[in-house]
Amino acid sequence: MSEAGERTAREMPRALRMGLVGFSFAAVASAVGVWGVGFLRTGPPPVAAKVVRTASGCNAYLTIQTVGSIGYGPRPSWVSYLVQNTKGQWVHSTIFVLPSHCTIHMTNYEYDGVTPLRNNVFGRVTGTVGGKEYVTGDVGSKKYSTSTPVSVVDGATVPAHTFTVPALGINVPWAATTASNLCAVAPCSPKSPHDIDKITFKTGAAGYYRWQCIVPCGLNFLDGNGGPMQTMGYMQGFLAVEQS
């Protein structure tokens, strides 16, 4: 009986304490939840290409660089793409905003060295205007001092990475420099050894198109397929083709 009496006497404070514990728990949980949603939504920013419209049509200029190790951020040693925004600054991103029904002039400053392809099929340039890329620099043992068209390369000795957009039929093996003193911190200075690879392709209808590097370039990951190969902002991205 005394126990029951004690319980009645303590009833209200107990309820109050339970409420307080519950309330503080709910407050902490919702704060963590809000932070969590924000954290999960972080990702590389979309970066727009420079668009020039003339009477003859739409032209857009997209300039990127590929670097063997980004040198900063949470994954400093990972191979990465960077893109130039309309102000000319280098941004670490792989989400490129392009206008629809437009000719895209894409330039890649390739600061990374050669990583062999596993499947030579991806050594072929497809989906670009004329089925060609234009290389200044090394293509395997050949050296071009002026921009030279290339339509197929040796997968074992030439590419650093690829720019592959399955939905648009695009595949470009970026020819790599064969020099050894590679740039290790982005953005790289043009003094570092590099190839300049240019392509032109046409965007069709608006859409969100996935692109991916096919070279298994995730160094020290099993089969080279982990890490940067599976992460937005490194070896995969989107072409956000917007209605224009």
Of residues 64, 102, 106, 235, which one binds Cu ion by CB under 5 A?
235
Q: Which of 204, 166, 197 is nearest to 66 (CA)?
A: 197
How many H-runs (helices) and E-runs (strands) does the chain carry? 2, 14
211 binds another protein (CB under 8 A): no
Of residues 36, 149, 190, 204, which one binds another protein by CB under 8 A?
36
Contacts of 187 (CB under 8 A, 6+ apart): 65, 67, 82, 90
Of residues 116, 202, 240, 244, which one binds another protein by CB under 8 A?
240
Maximum distance among all alpha carbons in the chain?
A: 99
231 binds another protein (CB under 8 A): yes
Stretch that binds Cu ion, among 14-22, 168-176, 200-208, 210-218 (CB under 5 A): 210-218
Looking up tokens 């304490």 gives: 17
Q: Give, in order, the Cα–Cα distances in Å from 50 to each of 36, 53, 59, 63.
A: 34, 10, 8, 9
Q: 121 touches which of another protein, Cu ion, none (CB within 5 to 8 A by kind)?
A: none
8 binds another protein (CB under 8 A): no
Q: How far is the CB of 58 from another protein (least distance, A)?
A: 19
CA end-to-end distance (rounded Å), the chain: 81
Q: What residue ranges bind another protein (CB under 8 A)?
A: 11, 14-15, 17-19, 21-22, 33, 36-37, 39-41, 43, 69, 75-78, 206-208, 210, 218-223, 225-227, 230-232, 236, 240, 242
